[in-house]
Amino acid sequence: MASFDSDPLVYLHVVITNPDGKQRDDPQTAFHSDTFHSTAKAWFFLYDIDDEKGPFTYVAGSHRLSKERLAWEREQSLAASEHKNRLHARGSFRLSRSEFSKLNYPDPTRFAVPGNSLVVADTHGFHARASSGRPSVRVGIYGSLRKNPFLPWTGFDPFNLPGLRGTQARIHMAQKDLESRLRGKPGSHRYAGRILATDPPSY
């Protein structure tokens, strides 16, 4: 349902890591589930991602709602809103390594992949960006398909309509841009560089 017949949000995704201790911790390096329902994410990596560049890491089988997982989700749902981790409190639950055995999870798999690899994941399952031990750049085309789980239908997606298809990223960015202007401070996503990936090539 998460990935059926809909137009994903797609953009160029560049992760620059410079582990010199001056940056804030990258919140994506903690194992987490994006939300309580299945959702699809994909990365088409344009260059080799070797194991030291902070590859995508996934806990195999953690997308399934086992009895243990349901009990754990319920436990979190009762207390999460007061959790000190802002992202956990918002419903993107973090899972510490000490809790892996409680949920019968195996060690995570690291997806160090060659360039031109497409990695697709149900990010209801636990995943993280492995931390990088040295400065690195990770470049990929990122896609996300996360629909409203309360819609009583699958399929019909207004962003699939002619004229709207393929525009989600621009609409999303325009909204983020407007939000940060109204708040008067820069948001977490902002335009960078001189041209957009969708602009015609310049020579």
CB of 25 to Fe ion, least distance (A): 15
- Residue numbers 124-143 binding Fe ion by CB under 5 A: none
Beta carbons of 122 and 33 less than 8 angstroms apart: no
Task: Please identify, using beta-carbon distances, which residue of 34 and 157 lies nearer to Fe ion.
Answer: 34
Give φ, ψ of 40 to 5 degrees: -110, 135
34 lies in the binding site for Fe ion (CB under 5 A): yes
122 lies in the binding site for Fe ion (CB under 5 A): no
Task: Please identify, using beta-carbon distances, which residue of 122 and 157 lies nearer to Fe ion.
Answer: 122
Q: What is the DSSP letter of 116?
A: T
CB of 127 to Fe ion, least distance (A): 6
How far, in Å, CA of 124 to CA of 146, rounded? 10
Q: What is the DSSP string of 71-99?
A: HHHHHHHHHGGG-SSHHHHTT--B--GGG
Task: Please identify, using beta-carbon distances, which residue of 34 and 122 lies nearer to Fe ion.
Answer: 34
CB of 41 to Fe ion, least distance (A): 7
How far, in Å, CA of 157 to CA of 193, rounded? 31
Q: What is the DSSP letter of 159?
A: G
CB of 155 to Fe ion, least distance (A): 25
Task: Please identify, using beta-carbon distances, which residue of 35 and 117 lies nearer to Fe ion.
Answer: 35
Residue numbers at the binding site for Fe ion (CB under 5 A):
34
